[in-house]
Amino acid sequence: MRILLYRGDGVVEPWVREFEGVMPQVEAVTWKEGQVLPPCDYAVLWNPALGLLEQLAQVKAIFLMGAGVDALLKFGEALPDVPLIRLGDAGMGVQMAEYVTHAVLRYFRRFDEYEQQARHGAWNPLPQIPKEEFAVGVMGLGKLGQPVVEAMRHFGFPVRGWSRTPKDIPGVETYAGMEGLDPFLRGTRVLVSMLPLTPDTANLLDRHNLGKLQPGAYLINVSRGAIIAEPDLMTLIRSGHIAGATLDVFRHEPLPAPHPFWNEPRISITPHISALTMRHDAVRQIADKIAALESGQPVDDLVDRSLGY
Ligand code: OXD
């Protein structure tokens, strides 16, 4: 069996070595712009080039090296008509839970304010925020959203969840669809975006919707930058309606040097690290799915092109 491994950032050698370790029977090949690809059984990709996708019509499936599929689906009709399979959890769920827990506790225990105070040598204990006033609302309740919800419940925060279709999660107030968005946002103090980027979610968090959050709200974005209308967020931060934001993802990455977010002290920035792909876990998962496909079994995490994720 031959598998193509490709990454737009060119860092593919560690993946080749991992595949050779986990699937020694497989020939792992790579590709460079302009090359003709030998026939392959499967492709495993991240941020592919069009010239490569055009040569993948014969593969049995395309696997993604991550959870988000927007960078692939943007090719639309040019995408080969073969099953597309995202990475399931593969160690990402726990990292998401760590990241969001850190950000929520930082705001809840007012560490952001203590950091500012300490810079000015101020010793000034602040009143504790009542937990019942700190409802955490998670948008996107898929494989990565669920561990976040559980972590928030563990700390005793009121937890709300919003998803495209109704979901029933014990201990979580759930809302669904566009009709559920308004009440979901109005009762939320800390909004956590874990939504995939689709035509329905692009710019969903604009001035209108973010303005529905409770005054002094916080925003945490760990999914895709284009879900947020960035200038609108800036306006709401400056007006104080949003007290702080922790952003891991941006419309343009790396976040360009002149971007106003860099100079806004109430915005904390990390470089798209909230859930790094754990190579070994990812390759094991892909190997298991290939084994299932080869024996005619169904696999999880199939991308639904019509839904965009
Ligand atoms: C992913 C990502 O989608 O790394 O997995 O953003």
**How do residues 76-98 score in pLDDT, each as one tens digit?**
999 999 999 999 999 999 999 99
- Rounded CA separation 101/175 (Å): 22
Which class is domain 92-269? alpha beta
- Most informative mutation of 221, 277, 279, 309 for ligand 1 (most atoms within 8 A of CB): 277
Arithmetic mean of pLDDT, 37-53: 97
Say yes or no: CB of residue 67 within 6 Å of ligand 1.
yes
Pairing between strand 190-193 and 136-139?
parallel
**CA-CA distance, 55 to 38, in Å (whole number)?**
9
Which superfamily does 2-89+277-294 belong to? NAD(P)-binding Rossmann-like Domain (3.40.50.720)
In this structure, are residues 135 and 185 in contact, taking their beta carbons and an 8 Å threshold? no
What mean pLDDT is predicted for residues 239-247?
Answer: 98
d(CA 87, CA 278): 11
Nearest CA to ligand 1 atom 4: 66
Query: Is 224 designated active site?
Result: yes
For 19-30, how does the pLDDT look when each residue is reduced to its tens digit (9 = 90+)? Answer: 999 999 999 999
Question: How confident is residue 49, by pLDDT bands cut at 50, 70 and 90?
Answer: very high
Q: What pLDDT was estimated at residue 83?
A: 98
Q: Please give the pLDDT value at position 191.
A: 99
Mean pLDDT of the chain: 97
User: pLDDT digit string (tens) for 154-207?
Assistant: 999 999 999 999 999 999 999 999 999 999 999 999 999 999 999 999 999 999
For ligand 1, the distance from its centroid to the CA atom of residue 71, given in whole angstroms, is 10
Omega before residue 265 within 30° of 0, cis: no
Same CATH fold assignment for domains 2-89+277-294 and 92-269:
yes
Q: Please name the residue whose Cα sits nearest to atom 3 of ligand 1.
A: 68
Q: What are residue 69's DSSP bridge partners?
A: none
pLDDT of residue 199: 95
pLDDT in tens, 274-286: 999 999 999 999 9
Q: 126 C-alpha vs ligand 1 centroid, how far in Å?
A: 37
CB of 88 shorter than 6 A to ligand 1 = no
Side-chain half-sphere CA neighbours of 243 within 13 A: 19
What would the two tokens of residue 54 be? 């055009």
What is the C-alpha separation between 243 and 218, in angstroms, rounded? 6
| Nearest CA residue ID for atom 6, ligand 1 | 68
Q: What is the length of the chain?
A: 309
With helix as H, strand as E and coil as C, how does the chain read?
CEEEEEECCCCCHHHHHHHHHHCCCCEEECCCCCCCCCCCCEEEEECCCHHHHCCCCCCCEEEECCCCCHHHHCCHHHCCCCCEECCCCCCHHHHHHHHHHHHHHHHHCCHHHHHHHHHCCCCCCCCCCCHHHCCEEEECCCCCHHHHHHHHHHCCCCEEEEECCCCCCCCCEEEEHHHHHHHHHHCCCEEEECCCCCCCCCCCECHHHHCCCCCCEEEEECCCHHHECHHHHHHHHHHCCEEEEEECCCCCCCCCCCCHHHHCCCEEECCCCCCCCCHHHHHHHHHHHHHHHHCCCCCCCECCCCCCC
Would you list the domain boundaries of the chain?
Answer: 2-89+277-294, 92-269
Active site residue: 272, 279, 284, 305, which one? 272
